[in-house]
Amino acid sequence: MTTINWGIIGCGNVTEKKSGQAYNKITDSKLVAVMRRDAAKAADYAQRHNVGKWYSDAEDLMNDPEVNAVSIATPPASHLEYALRAIEKGLNIYVEKPVTRNAQEAQDMADAVRESGAKLTVAHYRRALPMFLHVKSLIDSNAIGDIRTVQIRMWKYQNPNPQADVDNWRLQPEFSGGGYFHDLAPHQLDLMLYYFGKPASSTGYSLNQGGFSPANDHVCGQIVFKNKVVVNGSWCFNVAPSEATDICEIIGTKGKITFPFFGTFVTLKNEKGEETVNFTHPEHIQQPMITKIVAYFKDEGPNPCTIDEAVVLMKIMDTFTISQKLELS
């Protein structure tokens, strides 16, 4: 396979800047077709981004003989279905996060990949960004000694326009698997797995405090890794605007690493002093990850994020939001 010819299933907002334009900026990679159920929007996307073909049916896109890889960028409810169809057709697959709505769907996808030998990568693209690779290098170089605890806080305020939440598929669990936690936490929790390895256990709870949507808006969880690192996370989406925060603190025996998951700086504080490094993310933030995926699909590099890794992540998310829901009497 000399060129990875991509077709996007679900050419919505996430593909406008983050990924869609990146496919044509990578060696041996080309975006040749896009699909959206709304034919007019699919045609508009293709015209604006100079894509040769568009479809309103995913089956038609996957049957296009020029397409040998698909990017599944629909809401999570359809990820498994589209992935299974792509596997049957022998296509390479890149799946947006969260990979599915829950761990069982992720396991079903993993089983199909294993049985078929298909190539599938999950879009935990922060693994490939220089900022988060810098954090990993600090951890691996023992810059803060032995790591003891990690504290994650992702707090946001309620949307001032209630109707926007009513119409937002991310807040409809039947489509997304949950709420904003399912939309944002995969990036954060995947990095914890990338940094610290295999988890030994996880527990948590979730509840709907505000009642603004069917989705729970407050999630707490804890992961204990086999290397004895403990991660505590708090996700609350109904705080005062003044209290909104996005922060991760990795604390060790010799110092601390601080950074936001959706920001652009990393601060190291240890016995040598304090230093902050600022980063500029790529114009198309998924491009470094897609570069690695193209190499993997061409048998020129490893899989940068496997479905088996995503299964572990989804199991953790399930323990935070499903099996350990807080029952209030």
Q: Judge if pTM exceeds 0.85.
A: yes
Domains and CATH numbers, the chain: 4-125+285-305 (3.40.50.720), 130-281 (3.30.360.10)
The string of DSSP codes covering 27-51 is TTEEEEEEE-SSHHHHHHHHHHTT-
**What is the mean pLDDT of each successive set of 10 residues along the chain, which is 329 residues long?**
93 92 97 97 96 97 98 98 98 98 98 97 98 98 98 92 75 95 97 98 94 93 98 97 97 98 98 97 97 98 98 97 57
Tokens 């894509």 belong to which residue?
51
* Phi and psi torsions of 31, nearest 5°: -90, 115
Residue 163 is predicted with a pLDDT of: 65
Q: How many C-beta neighbours within 10 Å does residue 302 have?
A: 9
Three-class secondary structure of residue 176 per DSSP: helix
Q: Which residues, in sequence order, are bridge partners of residue 136?
A: none
Peptide bond into 214 cis (omega under 30): no
Q: Report pLDDT for 329.
A: 44
The pLDDT, as a whole number, for residue 161 is: 74
- Evaluate whether 96 touches 123 at the Cβ level (below 8 Å): yes
23: three-class secondary structure by DSSP: helix
